A and B are shown apart, each in its own frame.
Chain A
Amino acid sequence: MTDIAQLQAEALGAIGAAASLDTVEAERVRLLGKQGQVTALLKTLGGMTPEQRQSEGPRINGLREAVSAAIAARKAALEGAALEARLAAERVDLSLPAPDTPRGSVHPVSQVMDELAEIFADMGFAVATGPEIEDDWHNFTALNIPETHPARAMHDTFYFPDPGSESAAGSKLLRTHTSPVQIRTMQSQQPPIRIIAPGRVYRSDSDATHTPMFHQIEGLVIDRGIHLGHLKWTLETFLKAFFERDDIVLRLRPSYFPFTEPSAEVDVGFTWTNGRRILGGSEGWMELLGSGMVHPRVIRACGLDPDEYSGFAFGVGVDRLAMLKYGMDDLRAFFDGDLRWLRHYGFAALDVPTLSGGVGA
């Protein structure tokens, strides 16, 4: 039965030569369709004798299987080639720029305040706040700075017009320091007190290292048995943690603030590194903060008994801490909102200071 063999050879040849999926489909219809040649042969099986069927059946079925397999293989080959061609056509130049996502930043003052909150939280200090538009009593009088005190001249105060009828104690001003928060805290909380009070403060002063608005952080501890040694330890511990150096050396110098007694200015040692003053060591000293034991009169003004309670307070410029840690040299740029500066000195949103991850970034 050479006709079957002939048909198979012819069919496989035609399938193999099909150049497109459509041609393969046409071959499939021609061979395996309802009117197809192979289908017609298969139909002849029904009219055969069992003997004929036994001999012809396998041959005809073999033909069908060979044709089916050839069609499937050709189809797969053509599909593969088509996909390859499509992919080749879909090539893009990935050196082209991707869409930009704007990058935001956190201001160094905010970052440093978060760092300070983290450090002081570990020492048990909560964060307190107070108004920036203060009254004379909280900013001065309660802090043992009466009207005629020469210390008032040290604070170049911004005032609001006196409403007239009110007494001087009620007249409003922009707080010159964060110390009024000490008063507000002592009046509203019972000891033991451990707080830091960060915030904006104002003095009528303007040059490269002074701006009329700046940031301070106040620390206050009130308890039984607190003395100058605790103040010293607290400042040492805080500054070592903040500057992330164990070689931070402090020098306390007796000084004067009306609301502390004894009072001390605190200098921190630095070393010269590539012409820059880097904190750590003690090649030289720079003035960093003011501190002291809370004046008994202030404790009393807040309704506490200075014979029972003592405490310490300190105040330090947050902007200055930022400058010393991160190397800015002009304070005025802090408040200009220059994007170039904000991107250069700012911090990423996820640079969250933590004790385990470090309080610097």
Chain B
Amino acid sequence: MKFTFSWLKEHLETKAGLDQVVETLTRIGLEVEGIENPAETLAPFRIAKVLTAERHPQADKLQVLSVDAGADYPGGPVQVVCGAPNARAGLVGVFGAPGAYVPGSGITLKVAAIRGVESRGMMCSVRELELGDEHDGIIELAADAPVGAAFAEWAGLDDPMIDVSVTPNRQDCMGVRGIARDLAAAGLGTLKPLGEVYRMASLDPVEGSDPAPAVRTDDPEGCPAFYAQAVSGVANGASPAWMQKKLKAIGQKPISVLVDITNFVSIDLGRPLHVYDRAKLSGPLVARRAEPGEQVLALNGKTYTLDETMTVIADDAAVHDIGGIMGGEHSGVSETTTDVLIECAYFTPEHIARTGQKLGLTSDARQRFERGVDPAFLDQGIAIATWLVTEHCGGTPSAVTRAGQPPLERKVVSYDPALCLRLGGLDVPADEQRAILERLGFEVSAEWAVTVPTWRRDVDGPADLVEEVVRIAGIDKVPSTPLPRADGVARPTATPEQLVERRVRRTAAARGLNEAITWTFISEREAEALGGGAWTLANPISEDMKVMRPSLLAGLLGSAQRNMDRGAKAVRLFELGRRYLSDAERPTVGFVLAGDKTPRDWQAGKAQPFGAFDGKAQALALLEAAGAPVENLQVMGDASAAYHPGQSATLRLGPKAVLAEFGALHPSLVKAFGLEGAVVAGEIFLDAIPARRASGRIRPAYTPPALQPVTRDFAFLVPDALAAADLVRAVRGADKGLIASARLFDVFTGAGVPDGHKSLAVEVMLQPAERTLTDDDLAALSAKVVAAAGKLGATLRG
């Protein structure tokens, strides 16, 4: 919402300066987003008189001027080379000295020789000073303009433009008057009576003798009230200078006086209007629901297709207005318009919002109707509009049609002034609260029944009144008040899930992985490659960010590929985040290892790639950090299709609970993500890990065995297909009392090992409990181990 300081002061009687106004606006919740003063931009430009104008000796179209830039200008009259056709002796114009920045052309003036003649400044055109589009010649001011004076000040351009961000609740501040009212309430002056501002004796409509225009509303829900007045015999030319100046100052282009009047009232009072050319209408003007598929060419030059939920203003022939949002091109006023119909309607905010959202159409009118305009201001709106039209375009007003009924019920809030301290934390005396509310237009009864003004539909409860009082009294005055603190030191607050995430994250980082955070939405192609996504956005920002990821690998592989493209030799990335499945969002850790595991090295030789066992090591370490019982996990098959079928596995607790999968990635997936070579990855499914039972802090008693452990090695021939882990588990289970651990230390195929078999060597650690083991004990143990292994088809190697 833009306006100028002088515009504001037409409604606000105040002695406050700009700084105070700006500071107050922000303080009371009308955040100032910007201030621009054309006078500051144009400060270097002064009024100057051309003393003489001679032909340039080297160029026909140039003149050499001697310019009087004021008695105080150093060095007396200035020599200026000028190409403007209207430059002549006696002309009073605008002079820019060397060093001045010319906003319209973006250059900084300097002393220069033009075709051999020195020029020490410039006489400026309208466009060069960004005051308009004209560029036919230099500015010509009145002959009595004070030579040497600052131009901008003299021209009345010293009027800062203020840009305020109005929050969606403040319908009233979508007009300059509402902002003035708020400032007055904040003690910055007094709000001038509206009649005085518009120089009107009465704000009631002046009803002429011509019959009232035929308008009605057939859609009391979307358009409860439709007021209209016709004016005949108008002349539509340029709007008056004061109106043009205001509109230009806030960046609006003056069009014609009739159009400018509606724009001006919309900004000045937050009251949108519409003016129709009666010659282009046939039959009564009716607010009604659109027919499905009905079309209208709007003033922005676009055609909109409407549906039955939208309110339009139409006559017998066509739709002329998307009610409350934008007028139609066809019935708009033009220079030849003589008879007009002025519409001042009330549209239901929710309808406007829905229609605007559906059509994707915003406008100044929509912004105002959507927030809600003052339903009690229809008569004044008509009166002011007609007054401005007759004042500036002449003509004779008709009688007024008042179709329908705006929603005028007043809300009454029962308020307890003590709530201000209880909720707002600010102790404002009741009298002062009453005064603040009354300055804002609330009516406050002796019993604190507070009647809400018709322009504040956002206020409907006591908390809203606290906000009004606090923001005007000063939110900065609210004293900081410590929250009560529980006895003792702070209690731990992290949940078990958070503790797991923290441990896993820092374990991964400690193991050399870099944590990334990647987009949780991926492309359909990526999602398909990873098993397909369950959630596809209806309105993605791009095709690359469309499907909620079913796996963390997509983002990590994308990052890995970008890193490799940037020349990284090794990528170790992990991410802790959610997978989005059809039934739930599942906390997951993903990791990707790509490139060289070890670089070529003077000791180790060639660079080594990552292998599936690197994935296994990471997966197990992260699972352990997450509190999973890693010693009980089983390595099983059936990792997802993302992986190399022969070099991947799942880690399970029992046959069903899959806690993780890992392995070398499938070469086709690697290729799909633009990577090369072996890429190893894994995912840990954190929510599949059983919660650890809470136990006290006391550890079990420390009981180291009294006797030395003994190790024995066994080498078995087993069929190729046997999983090594199965053999180790069988060996360890052969004598649970004696065998403390079993560890596989060698796998061998080749000489001495029959085809289809492999040799597995297992180191078994025996922990005697009561007495040293005898040869007989050892022989018995060996027999048990061999028997247990034999059940899996293993034979002891000789």
Contact = CB atoms under 8 A, between A and B. Distances in A.
Interface in A249-284: 251-256, 258, 261-265
Interface string B485-500: 1100011111101100
Interface in A124-178: 124-127, 129, 131-133, 146-151, 153-154, 158-162, 172, 174
A262 B483 contact: no
Contact of B481 (A100, A110, A229, A251): A229
Contacts of A32: none
A234 interface: yes
Interface in B519-552: 519-521, 535-541, 545, 548
Interface in A324-358: 334-340, 342-343, 346-350, 352
Nearest to B355: A148
Interface stretch (B83-91, B212-220, B311-319, B346-354): B346-354
A127 B495 contact: yes
A221 B485 CA distance: 13
A52 B598 CA distance: 80
Nearest to B370: A150
B159 to A, nearest CB: 26
Interface stretch (B22-30, B190-198, B774-782): B22-30
Interface string B431-464: 0000000000000000000000000000001111
Contacts of B573: 337, 339
Contact of A339 (B31, B370, B426, B563): B563
Given A124-B490, A227-B424, A133 B461 contact: no
B562 A232 contact: no
Q: SS class of chain A's interface: helix, strand, loop or mixed? A: mixed
A53 interface: no
Given A131-B585, A336-B559, A337-B562, A125 B493 contact: yes
A346 B463 contact: no
Contact of A228 (B462, B478, B483, B518): B478
B512 interface: yes
Interface stretch (B71-79, B326-334, B564-572): B564-572
B571 A339 contact: yes
Nearest to A157: B539
Interface residues of A, number: 93
A174 B566 CA distance: 32
Contacts of B507: 349
B672 interface: no
A265 B492 contact: no
B15 to A, nearest CB: 24
Given A102-B570, A104-B515, 15 more contacts: A100-B599, A147-B354, A159-B539, A161-B536, A213-B521, A221-B483, A227-B421, A254-B28, A254-B470, A261-B461, A262-B424, A296-B463, A337-B518, A338-B559, A339-B563
25 contacts: A102-B512, A106-B506, A121-B490, A127-B493, A133-B535, A146-B350, A159-B538, A160-B535, A162-B538, A227-B423, A228-B425, A229-B479, A232-B478, A255-B31, A255-B167, A256-B29, A262-B466, A262-B467, A262-B470, A293-B423, A296-B461, A334-B517, A335-B518, A337-B573, A342-B515
Interface of B: 26-29, 31, 167-170, 349-351, 353-354, 357, 370-371, 421-426, 461-464, 466-467, 470-471, 475-476, 478-483, 485-486, 490-495, 497-498, 502, 505-521, 535-541, 545, 548, 555-556, 558-560, 562-563, 566, 568, 570-573, 576-578, 580, 585, 598-599, 601-604
Interface of A: 96-97, 99-107, 109-110, 114, 117, 120-127, 129, 131-133, 146-151, 153-154, 158-162, 172, 174, 194, 200, 204, 206, 212-213, 221, 225-234, 236-237, 251-256, 258, 261-265, 293, 295-297, 310, 334-340, 342-343, 346-350, 352
